[in-house]
Chain A
Amino acid sequence: MSLQLEARREGDVRVFVLEGELDAQTVGPFDKEMEACLARGEVRIVLDCRGLAFIASAGLGVLMGVLGPVQQAGGIIVLAGVQAEVRRTFDLLDFSSLFPFADSLGDALRLAAPAGGQG
């Protein structure tokens, strides 16, 4: 049980690819990457969740913790390709109203890109 985390830039958008399980044991690197992202002023973020099989409150807590600063800076966090069971966990906590979801990575990138930017 582990989490593979890959980061890259797509134009003005920071993309994180998450594969595996995001729980209390694996959340550390993701938390650090998100904080580093904010520190660099990168607030247009797409989380590619197609390979994310499990999320616990530790992972949801990181998202909740960074959402305020992201929104204050005019940014956005878009979740792409979230699997059904993981999506239901978001729904149970009413997180679905906090984050935009996109079926595909392409749609997520268009949502996250600044107006007049890519897409």
Chain B
Amino acid sequence: MPHGRGMDPPGIDHDDRKHTFTMPALHFLSDMDRVDVVRAFVEDTASGLVLTKDERYHLELAVLEAVMNVMIHAYRSEAGHPIRVVIEVDGEGYLQVEVRDKGVFFNILDLPAPDLQRHIEIQKRGGLGVHLMRNLMDEVAVLQDGDENVLRMRKRLAIA
């Protein structure tokens, strides 16, 4: 498939979380010029979930920001490295997104909130994506799972 995009079949995840529904995952290779692949995947996935318009928009934005963060920081803007995105709704009514990579581990939770006035003074353009993710989602966690870095974001759904 183009740009290394691949999808797993949907299914019930029989781990310790009861009634978790995992949507098809997206596997693709880092490419700064193809974030449309990510957005199309999230839109496809969201269409299979009961989400409000706001939740759908926030999900799309949070996943896009997370993937951009991986491409820029974990893979230092290099193309061709693996990224996996998994979206699921768990039995507690939370929407959960995992973005997995095999690049340089970077704990985004160590970053302070941006000082906008300072950024404007020095004409800084970056540093907003992480802050956006943290504001869009209820919980953001980073962890390492084997050789993968995992960014896990959770948001309580309005209709759970």
Binding site for B on A (CB under 8 A): 1, 21, 23-25, 54, 56-58, 60-62, 64-69, 71, 85, 88-89, 92-95, 98
Contacts and interface: CB of A to CB of B under 8 A. Distances in A.
A92 to B, nearest CB: 4
Contacts, number: 77
Given A64-B116, A67-B120, A57 B132 contact: yes
A57 B124 contact: no
B60 A61 contact: no
Contacts of A94: 116
B33 to A, nearest CB: 6
Given A57-B65, A98-B120, A92 B54 contact: no
Interface residues of B, number: 31
B28 to A, nearest CB: 14
- Interface class of chain A by DSSP: helix
A21 to B, nearest CB: 8
Interface in B28-65: 32-36, 39-40, 53-54, 57, 60-61, 64-65
A92 B123 CA distance: 20
Interface of B: 32-36, 39-40, 53-54, 57, 60-61, 64-65, 68, 116, 119-129, 131-132, 135-136
B36 A25 contact: yes
A24 B126 CA distance: 11
Q: Which 3 A-B pairs have the closest CB atoms?
A: A61-B125, A57-B128, A57-B129
A63 B27 CA distance: 32
A6 B100 CA distance: 38
Question: Which of B34, B40, B68, B127 is most buried by chain A, counting CB atoms within 10 A of its CB?
Answer: B68
